[in-house]
Amino acid sequence: MISAVSTSQNDYSLIVTAENSNNATNEEPKRSDEEKFGYKLSLSDENWKTLGKKGKLSEEDQKKVEELKKIDQKVHTHEQAHLSAAGGYARGGAHYDYVTGPDGNRYANSGHVNLDTGKEKTPEATIIKANIIQKAALAPADPSPADNQIAANAAKMAVDAQKELAEQKKGTNEPDSPDAPQVNVSESS
């Protein structure tokens, strides 16, 4: 059984009971609601309005919900592109920020994927990593300014590692090997 109890002018409690009314007797000892029912959920007037609106959205609110759904899909697609391209350099999954729509549902409106951008043990490994990070940053169809900055930083990391590799080879008089990783710097706008 669910019942609502007004606790103040703008606050209500929703009490959920698991008791069977056939088992209740008048001889039951007095207990507080929390002891008797297990838990209470407090809702403000605005939350009650949101609950009451389910399925009864105005045309304006329906348009807002449709726009939020499009943004949510775009954000998820964008972050999934980063995640897919990052491979093992992604640290965890995608993280999203949400807004609540007029229908009471949550919609992603921004997100990010954390990447490991530190140098590797060798310049060759750092060049490979930098190229993957750059590709991951530019993977979405519409990279953000932050994505472009990450790609530029990765390109610089690759150039620095290539210089380090060249200095190491100069010190050992090794010729450049055709198998050595090469810097792949792409211009991003």
The per-residue pLDDT for range 52-110, each reduced to its tens digit, is: 555 588 999 999 999 999 999 999 999 999 999 999 999 989 999 999 999 999 999 99
Residue 179 lies in a domain: no
Domain final position from 38, 53, 68:
53
Per the structure, how many domains does the chain have? 2
HEC sequence for the chain: CEEEEEEECCEEEEEECCCCHHHCCCCCCCCCHHHHHCEEEEEEHHHHHHHHHCCCCCHHHHHHHHHHHHHHHHHHHHHHHHHHHHHHHEEEEEEEEEEECCCCCEEEEEEEEEECCCCCCCHHHHHHHHHHHHHHHCCCCCCCHHHHHHHHHHHHHHHHHHHHHHHHHHHHCCCCCCCCCCCCCCCCC
What CA–CA distance (Å, rounded) separates 120 from 136?
A: 17
Q: How far apart are CA 43 and CA 40, in angstroms?
A: 10
End-to-end CA distance of the chain: 60
Verify that 13 and 71 share a domain, yes or no: no
- Please answer whether residues 114 and 133 qualify as being in contact, where contact means their C-beta atoms are separated by less than 8 angstroms: no
Give me the domain span that covers residue 35: 2-53
Q: Are both 163 and 105 inside the same structural domain? A: yes
pLDDT digits 0-9 by tens, 137-189: 999 999 999 999 999 999 999 999 999 999 888 877 655 555 555 555 444 43
Residues 19 and 65 both lie in one domain: no
The residue assigned the tokens 């965890």 is 92
Q: Is residue 181 part of a domain?
A: no
Residue 79 lies in a domain: yes
> What's the pLDDT score for residue 30?
55
> Which residue type occupies 84?
S
90-100 and 39-44: which strand pairing? Answer: unpaired
pLDDT of the residue at 179: 57
Residue 186 within a domain: no
In a domain, 183, yes or no: no
Instruction: Kindly report the pTM of this predicted structure.
Output: 0.62
What's the mean pLDDT in 29-49?
56
Same domain, 72 and 109: yes
Q: Which of 30, 31, 43, 59 is nearest to 2 (CA)?
A: 43
What is the three-state SS of 48-77? HHHHHHCCCCCHHHHHHHHHHHHHHHHHHH
